[in-house]
Chains A and B, each alone.
Chain A
């Protein structure tokens, strides 16, 4: 149930909309601040904001239409009428990356990696704020939780048909916390780089954000009862697949740099195998929890361990890839 924040005559403004807008504005301001701080131009920054906004809306609507086409009268209606229907957050990520690339392609700026870093930092904080919006709706449909009736683990969700209250895993709250912690950690890295205390190439902040956020999101999406699935196969979640792609991209980028900077070593094979094993273990646990829903606690614990291991191993690769740069500096 939507909770009303303000009423002006016939106009109702909901808390959900207020907090979501705050999240968007937070992201915009932080992006511009970081962008300008790193030597970007205000015009290109503002352009990136507008293009990202527009692309994000279109792409997030497209992803939602792809998965839930039956909820729209037609593709045309889905892509032209934005007053109804829903959106997929993953589309925002793709929209922002695409916007940065397009502006670079058209030579509006020449700092693609810096822009992506700024977007990543801003996005982390924007998500941390924006996700709190759904604490004021019934949209947070995580699995039912028996061990807690309070935040941060459980949130009361009222069934619109029966009026019954069930306590469900507060996935959006947890997502907000993860994004918030990630923002703080990346901010520390950003300022240390700014002060010359560490060597962190441009683009690394974006890759680290993608790595950690996507790993956490792959887990959290599994706990939801309203995930978006691929057409014709209701087992495979679109978010989980895109998150896996994001994690793999980070691993590949760091690995390539590691080999370039340190030369080939057979020991790397062990790390990659361990990462592959961890990701495979997480994938198996996803299958396991779909089949054995009553073992959700075990499955999600194992999935968390596997994903954490994959992230840690990737961070080791990242660290190794920096060593040569540090010595060179």
Chain B
């Protein structure tokens, strides 16, 4: 038929055109796809958080410490020069504690010798720990003492709850440290608090603010502001080891936070709260967005009892669960312990105190949970000292 005969060349032409176009188009697209895939070949993995030094500064810092202590040794018997040890925030891992400096006892009254030996660190300050403390049944006092740190941990029954304490004296502010998982702000990784404490050689550690769980608060790590949301009370720790508080809404943005950090030589911050005690008085706590403050959950806190004298507290369950304090009750307790300042940490199942690699408090649900950070105290005596 004529129509069919006329149509054939056009159809054929269209097929050739489509086929050519299709082949060329497909080739170009596939080439593009292979190029994109090839880019992946040269995409290198990101280096995981490795400890990094500030180069010359770290070297000079270590040199200063070395020379000071060598001179002390050289002049021993001639001139009394106290050895001084300190840590640098760039050193992620603290020196390993000396296992022989740990001890434990179920008889607190036998520890007078310990307090006498720790006298240089205690420096006349009043301890919360007392020799006649009534320990929680079947628990022990655990302690660590070397030239630079004295830590004593014990548990008591108070208002039907188990209160776990770790009272710490340090020789240098740099021994009060913070560790974020993988030493990297924003790392997606989480670990058990006890594992992190062991990894960094903490003498005494507690949970921090679990910063990764939420976007609230100002997070400062190694002097750098990483997050600046003004919707939480913040506890800053400066280069003197002092706690400096900023109330919710006080530092409104990144610039304000950075200026504050620079002005006060802040090393790191904790972003949970609320502020529990200020100037020896329980704080006036209103509505607060974090921590279910009016609920009855295990509570955790860090407080100061004096200069370079700290108290880590967890008010938690006993094996026989009873109601735990709400935030106001907890603040009153921290005041009664003699804290000049105290700040609430993330509680609940997150709350824990680790001394010598062992979890001291009774954990909610009987198990740790993975977290993103801890705060801890470390010895400054170099490994093997």
Residue pair B26, A21 in contact (C-beta under 8 Å): no
Min CB gap B259→A, angstroms: 20
Contacts A11-B42, A25-B37, A161-B92; is A42 near B186 (CB within 8 Å)? no
- A67 to B213: give the CA distance in the assembly, Å: 10
- A49 to B34: give the CA distance in the assembly, Å: 10
Residue pair A161, B183 in contact (C-beta under 8 Å): yes
Whether a CB of chain A sits under 8 angstroms from the CB of B215 is yes
Closest chain A residue, CB of each to CB of B45: A2
Residue pair B26, A43 in contact (C-beta under 8 Å): yes
Cross-interface CB contact of A71 among B186, B210, B214, cutoff 8 Å: B186
Min CB gap A85→B, angstroms: 8
Closest chain B residue, CB of each to CB of A70: B186
Contact with B along A70-95 (1 / 0, CB 8 A): 11000000000001101000000000
Residue pair B367, A292 in contact (C-beta under 8 Å): yes
What is the total number of residues of chain A having a CB less than 8 Å from a CB of chain B?
Answer: 56
Residue pair B189, A141 in contact (C-beta under 8 Å): yes
Cross-interface CB contact of B226 among A17, A20, A70, cutoff 8 Å: A70
Residue pair B29, A68 in contact (C-beta under 8 Å): no
Cross-interface CB contact of B30 among A11, A18, A46, A292, cutoff 8 Å: A46
A sample of 29 cross-chain residue pairs with beta-carbon separation below 8 angstroms, ordered by A number, consists of A13-B41, A13-B42, A14-B44, A17-B42, A17-B45, A28-B30, A28-B33, A28-B37, A43-B21, A46-B26, A46-B30, A50-B32, A50-B33, A67-B188, A68-B188, A70-B185, A70-B186, A71-B185, A71-B187, A160-B48, A161-B50, A161-B183, A226-B190, A228-B188, A229-B213, A231-B215, A234-B213, A290-B369, A291-B367
Residue pair B367, A294 in contact (C-beta under 8 Å): yes
Whether a CB of chain A sits under 8 angstroms from the CB of B43 is yes
Min CB gap B67→A, angstroms: 28
Closest chain A residue, CB of each to CB of B30: A46
Contact with A along B30-61 (1 / 0, CB 8 A): 10111011101111111111110000000000
Q: List 8 tightest A-B contacts by C-beta distance, closest first.
A: A234-B213, A46-B29, A71-B186, A70-B186, A160-B48, A42-B26, A46-B26, A2-B45
Residue pair B367, A42 in contact (C-beta under 8 Å): no
Cross-interface CB contact of B365 among A70, A83, A229, A292, cutoff 8 Å: A292
Whether a CB of chain B sits under 8 angstroms from the CB of A137 is yes
Contacts of B367 in A (CB 8 A): 291-295
Cross-interface CB contact of B366 among A28, A67, A70, A292, cutoff 8 Å: A292
- A139 to B47: give the CA distance in the assembly, Å: 11
Contact with B along A288-307 (1 / 0, CB 8 A): 00111111000000000000
- A131 to B338: give the CA distance in the assembly, Å: 55
Residues in chain A within 8 A of chain B (CB atoms): 1-2, 11-14, 16-18, 20-21, 24-25, 28, 32, 41-43, 45-47, 49-50, 53-54, 67-68, 70-71, 83-84, 86, 137-139, 141, 159-162, 164, 225-229, 231-234, 290-295
Whether a CB of chain A sits under 8 angstroms from the CB of B244 is no
- A13 to B43: give the CA distance in the assembly, Å: 8
Cross-interface CB contact of B50 among A20, A45, A70, A160, cutoff 8 Å: A160
Contacts of A32 in B (CB 8 A): 30
- A293 to B33: give the CA distance in the assembly, Å: 44
Whether a CB of chain A sits under 8 angstroms from the CB of B227 is yes
- Interface majority SS on B: helix, strand, loop or mixed? mixed
- A234 to B346: give the CA distance in the assembly, Å: 13
- A68 to B215: give the CA distance in the assembly, Å: 10
Whether a CB of chain A sits under 8 angstroms from the CB of B120 is no
Min CB gap B153→A, angstroms: 22
Residue pair B182, A161 in contact (C-beta under 8 Å): yes
Contacts A2-B45, A161-B49; is A225 near B365 (CB within 8 Å)? no
Residue pair A45, B183 in contact (C-beta under 8 Å): no
Residue pair A234, B182 in contact (C-beta under 8 Å): no
Closest chain B residue, CB of each to CB of A71: B186
What is the total number of residues of chain B having a CB less than 8 Å from a CB of chain A?
Answer: 55
Whether a CB of chain A sits under 8 angstroms from the CB of B103 is no
Contacts of B191 in A (CB 8 A): 225
Contacts of B214 in A (CB 8 A): 232-234
Residue pair B43, A17 in contact (C-beta under 8 Å): yes
Residue pair A291, B226 in contact (C-beta under 8 Å): no
Whether a CB of chain A sits under 8 angstroms from the CB of B131 is no
Contacts of A161 in B (CB 8 A): 49-51, 92-93, 182-183, 199-200
Contacts of B43 in A (CB 8 A): 17, 83
Contacts A68-B186, A162-B93; is A84 near B46 (CB within 8 Å)? yes
Residue pair B40, A20 in contact (C-beta under 8 Å): yes
Residue pair B366, A294 in contact (C-beta under 8 Å): yes
Known: A21-B40, A83-B43; 9 extra A-B contacts, CB below 8 A, are A1-B48, A46-B33, A141-B189, A161-B92, A162-B199, A232-B215, A234-B212, A292-B366, A295-B367
Contacts of B45 in A (CB 8 A): 2, 14, 16-17, 137, 139
Closest chain B residue, CB of each to CB of A24: B37
Residue pair A159, B199 in contact (C-beta under 8 Å): yes
- A139 to B199: give the CA distance in the assembly, Å: 18
Cross-interface CB contact of B34 among A25, A43, A233, cutoff 8 Å: A25
- A11 to B215: give the CA distance in the assembly, Å: 39
Min CB gap B129→A, angstroms: 30
Contacts of A17 in B (CB 8 A): 40-45
Min CB gap B128→A, angstroms: 31
Contacts of B210 in A (CB 8 A): 234
Contacts of B48 in A (CB 8 A): 1, 138, 160
